Amino acid sequence: MVKGNKEKRRVYRLPPCPAYDVEGMESWLADMARDGLLLCRDGFFAGFAAFERADPQDTRGIKYRLEAAEKSTSMWADDGGEPDAEAVEISEKYGWEYIAKRCDFYIYRSSDPAARELNTDPVVQALALNTVRKRQRSAALSCLFWTMIYPIIAIRGNLFITMIGIRTWYFLFGAALLFWYLAASIGRALHLGRLRKKLLNDGTIDHGKNWRKRVYFYHAGTVIRSVLTIIWACILLQKWGISASNADKIPLSDYAADPPFATIADLSPGGEYSEDDYLNTNKVSEWSDWLSKYNIDWSEIASVRRSDGTILSGGLYVDYHEAASPWIAEKIAREYVRTDRRNRNFDPLELPALDVDFAVAYTHTINLPTVVLRDGNKVIHATFYQASETYIMPLEEWVDIMIKSIKS
């Protein structure tokens, strides 16, 4: 029964400012107390603050103070991120009760108008703030690593291939979110630095700050960033599911379009073509992107009985792009070469002079012959291995057929 009454008396509010805005938080909590709302014990959860209703006549004059935590306040810390029992006991002797924690700060409350300040030495308080500032600076550096350095390492310099593969709009969406988080992390460190400087210069901070000025900007920013992060994560899960199930690919037998490059059937026209759909690998996917309006991922294992009775057989794997400009196409082509160069057994192959803007041939991995071609804004990255015992098409011949197909 008592529990039910307490639940009815409990209300929830969104804080009007971040935890590191010490002046704003102290002023807001004091104003809530004047309205008869007292912060509950451990009252911060999932971005909300929980308050218990009380008689405003009994809560006027209540004040709050935020103390910078000199150690991690994470729930995974050895002591659960709570303040030292000795520190809490000393604070109680001076009329301050420990109530809750929010991020890197402990929150104390006093109803005694004569209670001395928790921190009477601004230098000591500034040192504690500096400890938090250093943690925030480390967080900013960590955020910088994950937003800028790690992605460069992860994609190994293949910016255009990566953007086209996951879609440029989604890549930029994620990059914008990461930079938003990075800016917020840097902003926290800068704000704490200014507050520390204020303590050292003035010896005090403003416990009655007007927290209402930027409340709508803070709430709007928090909500928008949270919603966008959830949307980005949901899209990521969807993309992962599609990729894992190959839902974006269809069998070649169901593909009605005429690909803009030579297939195994085109390498030996007039022959008797048959698919060898080994392990269900004969698939194709198409998509469009801002950087490349038309893209194809082609996987084909087949054989062609030629008119002389010999058989051309093997596997053809093609990445095809029609880039938005020749400059982007050049970047894509060179990124393919750079990627394959990292594979073992990379060995360049000689090609004659060809009527294209860029042509490189090589073997890699298990000696798979591969060619990268660019003609204007068109790029082909093709690997063709042959498994016939009666006929092996020379590299120059099938590359020439590929070039003619993209030019036509």
The model's pLDDT over 192-247, given as tens digits with 9 standing for 90+, comes to 889 999 988 988 888 889 999 999 999 999 999 999 999 999 999 998 998 888 88
Residues 317 and 402 grouped into a single domain? yes
Give domain status of residue 58, yes or no: yes
Give domain status of residue 289, yes or no: yes
What whole-number distance in Å separates Cα of residue 328 and Cα of residue 57? 70
Classify the phi-psi angles of 46: left when phi > 0, otherwise alpha if psi is within -120 to 50, otherwise beta. left
What whole-number distance in Å separates Cα of residue 38 and Cα of residue 59? 8
Classify the phi-psi angles of 114: left when phi > 0, otherwise alpha if psi is within -120 to 50, otherwise beta. alpha
Orientation angle between helical segments 159-166 and 168-202, nearest 10 degrees: 110
What single-letter DSSP state applies at residue 29?
Answer: H
pLDDT tens, N- to C-terminus, the chain (408 residues): 334 445 558 899 999 999 999 999 999 999 999 999 999 998 998 889 999 999 998 888 899 999 988 877 767 666 667 888 888 998 999 899 999 999 889 999 999 988 888 887 888 888 888 888 888 778 778 777 876 777 777 777 788 999 999 999 999 998 899 889 888 888 888 888 899 999 889 888 888 899 999 999 999 999 999 999 999 999 999 989 988 888 889 999 999 999 999 999 999 998 999 998 777 889 999 999 999 999 999 999 999 999 999 999 999 999 999 999 999 999 999 999 999 998 878 999 999 999 999 999 999 878 889 999 999 999 999 999 999 999 999 999 999 999 999 998
Residues 235 and 291 grouped into a single domain? no
Give domain status of residue 115, yes or no: no
Residues 281 and 170 grouped into a single domain? no
The model's pLDDT over 323-376, given as tens digits with 9 standing for 90+, comes to 999 999 999 999 999 999 988 789 999 999 999 999 999 998 788 899 999 999
Token pair of 88 as six digits: 């809490």
Which residue segment(s) compose the domain that 214 sits in?
122-245
Give domain status of residue 313, yes or no: yes
Q: Which residues contact 36 (CB under 8 A, 6 or more apart)?
A: 53, 54, 55, 56, 59
Q: How many domains does the chain have?
A: 3
Answer yes or no: are the C-beta atoms of 126 and 200 closer than 8 Å. Answer: yes
pTM for the complete prediction?
A: 0.81
pLDDT score at 210: 93
Residues 45 and 165 grouped into a single domain? no
What whole-number distance in Å separates Cα of residue 391 and Cα of residue 135? 67
pLDDT score at 78: 67
Residues 29 and 131 grouped into a single domain? no
Q: Which of 50, 84, 110 is the last residue of a domain?
A: 110
Give domain status of residue 116, yes or no: no
Q: Which of 245, 268, 286 is the last residue of a domain?
A: 245
Residues 25 and 91 grouped into a single domain? yes
Give domain status of residue 302, yes or no: yes
Residues 225 and 201 grouped into a single domain? yes
Residues 277 and 392 grouped into a single domain? yes
Residues 261 and 385 grouped into a single domain? yes
Residues 233 and 254 grouped into a single domain? no
Q: What is the CA radius of gyration of the chain?
A: 33
Q: What one-character-per-residue DSSP string does 231-299 give? A: HHHHHHHHHHHHHHHTTT-EEGGG--S--SS--HHHHSTTSEEEE--GGG--EEEEE--SSEEEEEEEE
* CATH classification of the domain holding 310: 3.40.1000
Q: Which of 110, 138, 154 is the last residue of a domain?
A: 110
Residues 301 and 356 grouped into a single domain? yes
Among residues 173, 196, 177, 174, which one has the least CA distance to residue 185? 177
Give domain status of residue 10, yes or no: yes
Residues 254 and 328 grouped into a single domain? yes
Give domain status of residue 39, yes or no: yes
pLDDT score at 3: 42
What whole-number distance in Å separates Cα of residue 52 and Cα of residue 39? 6
pLDDT score at 179: 87
